[in-house]
Every structure is written in C-alpha cells, then in structure tokens.
Amino acid sequence: MRNEEIKINLLKKMGFLKRIQVSIFKVENYSEFLLEKTNISIKYLLKLILLVAVILAISTTVQINKIASKGLRYIKNEMPEFSLIDGEISFKEDTEGYDNDLDFYVKYSTKSELSDSIVSEIKKDVQQYSSAFVYLKDRIIIYNGGNYSVFKYSDLLSEYNLSITNRTDLINLIDKLGITGIDISFFIISFLSGYVTNIINVIFDVSLVFCFGIIASRICGVNMPYSKMISLSIYSLTLSIFLSLLYSVVYNFTNFYIEYFEFMYIIVAYIYLIAAILIIKSDVIKQKMELQKIIEVQNQVKKEIEEQKKEESKEDNKKDDNKEEKKKKKDKNEEEPIIDREPDGSEI
C-alpha cells in the first residue's frame, strides 16, 4: 500500500514530456498509469494533439509561404473576377490553373450544385498535387501535403469581420495584410482546423485501439476495467501520433508518400498495447507467486508457533504435575501418627 502511494505521488509530479518518454520507451511502466484517474490520461492526449496541431500548422504555413508571393501576383493579375454575396461566390468563368514549379493546382467551380460525393471526388483529384486551392460555390478547399482544410466563406467573413464582395476588395485586403499578415492568418486558421480535425481522428483511433485491447485482454486472461483500458489505449498511441506527425511534415516538404502508412500507424499502437497487457499479466502472476510464498511462510510460522505453544504447554503441565506430586507427599508425611514414627532421640 505504501509503494502504491509513492507511485501515485510520482505520477502526479510527472510532466508532459516525461509522459511522452515513458509512453514511447518504457512500456514496462504502463502498469503505473493504471493507478491514476482516466481524466489525467485524457488531458495528456489533448495536450499531445495540441502540440501536433501547432507543429503541423507551422509546417503548413512555411510551405504556404513559398507560394504566397506567386499567389499574390496571380490574384492581382490572373484571378477571374467574382462576386461574393450572402456567403456564396460566383466567378465570371469556371476555370483551372497549374504551376509546375510549385506543383500547385487551382480550380474555380462555382456554377454546379454541390453534394458530398462531388466534394469527395474533388478531394481525391487534388491528391496528385503538392498543394491546391479549390473554390466552390459556398466554400474553399485548401489542400497541402496530404492535409485538407475546408472553410465556408460565410464563416471566414463573420469570424474575421471581413467585408469582401469582389476581386478588388480581396486585393485591397491582401495589400493591407502583407505577406506576414497572411502567414499569421493562415497559421491561426490551419491550427484551429487542424486541432479540431485531429481530435476527431484521434478519438476514432483510441476507440479502435480500445476495442482491440478489450479483446486482447480477455484472450490473455487479464480482466481490466474499461476506464483503465482507455488510459492504456491513449498512451499506446503516443508513438503512432508522432510517426504520423513526422510523416506529414516530410510529406509537406518532399511529397514523399507511403501507401499503407495508416495501416502501419494503427498496428504500432496495437503492438504497444498487447506488449503492455502481457507485461501487466506477467506482473500479476509474479505478485500472485509472491503472495503465495508469503502465505506459505505465514502458515509455516503459524505452525511453528502452535507447536512451540504445545511444547510449552506440555512443559507447564509437567511442572504442575511435579508440584502436585511433591505437595501430596508433603501432605501425606504431615498426616502420619507420631507413634508410628521412629524415635529420633529427642524424646528420651
């Protein structure tokens, strides 16, 4: 009990970076996480997603900055005229363009009606490029390095208190903000959208790992509360989340693509979780063996104490018998008549 209290106190003092280190390099210590409340592991996950969102936003902003100058020239000189009314945009003509140096694709498609299938098809089409802007009737799709950001014009205008109705208003806003202002704006937008998207994706991943862990624990004969399995699932995903972050950053700058990365991403988490379950099972078996040894020693000591008590009882009984026998002899001598005694010379 004392050891558990010490471990709990150490866990409370464990910082965020230390938790990352333990989660990746010390699977044998996962059992210690079972001593803390589940909300602590959830807070750890939210901080981890926050860190990932910041790094991805920086990476995306750096990449976008490369095309910002050329993009500004394009908007001023080549972008079609448009009108933006009540959150819906309409270009003078639907067209598309491609920059070979940046592997950048832009498309204007505001005439046709939108549906989920059309949006999904557009997202699939732009995957062949490093980055892309697709202007649709009520939203813009920004694609960069495998990551999508979708924004409705009405949300952008209201959230940032903008007043844009045509191409001239957009050019004036760009001149006012400058490159730095655009970078900051894009970072904020990328961070917020990335954070929300990552939370949704990671919750789904935690659910998958959790279900796998429940099945694996039953097979291994380890009965674990659901709340504790959630904690283990979160920490098991740590390395996978960082691998995904590394892959996204590399893809942003090199366009390097791994076909089955998502499959490997979840497999790594499964391996961590099954290793943690097996180690916990081994620890439980060791604890049972140690407990059994303690019980055997206690029984042996108890047996020896009982035997010792019996021996002492026999000795006490023997001493009592001797005392009783001596007393009887003494009483008998005192009760004998004087005439029957031999003279001792004092009676003459």
Whether residue 49 is contained in a domain is answered as yes
pLDDT of residue 259: 80
pLDDT of residue 348: 42
Nearest CA to 56 among 292, 245, 271, 262? Answer: 245
Mark whether 126 and 87 lie in a shared domain. yes
Question: Angle 248-251-257 (CA atoms, 0-180°, nearest 5)?
Answer: 105
Mark whether 157 and 223 lie in a shared domain. no
Nearest CA to 180 among 75, 79, 68, 71? Answer: 68
The whole domain housing 140 covers: 58-193
Mark whether 75 and 174 lie in a shared domain. yes
Mark whether 108 and 219 lie in a shared domain. no
pLDDT of residue 65: 79
The mean pLDDT values, 10 residues at a time, for the chain of 348 residues are 57 83 91 87 95 92 77 81 89 85 84 76 86 88 81 86 87 79 83 91 95 92 90 95 92 79 92 93 73 72 76 66 63 56 50
pTM of the complete model: 0.63
pLDDT of residue 56: 92
How many domains, in total, are found in the chain? 2
Distances (CA, A) of 194 to 6, 54, 186, 246: 38, 9, 12, 15
Residues 6 or more apart in contact with residue 103 via CB below 8 angstroms: 129, 130, 131, 255
pLDDT of residue 20: 93
Residues 6 or more apart in contact with residue 94 via CB below 8 angstroms: 108, 109, 110, 111
CA separation for the pair 13, 25 (Å, rounded): 19
Whether residue 289 is contained in a domain is answered as no
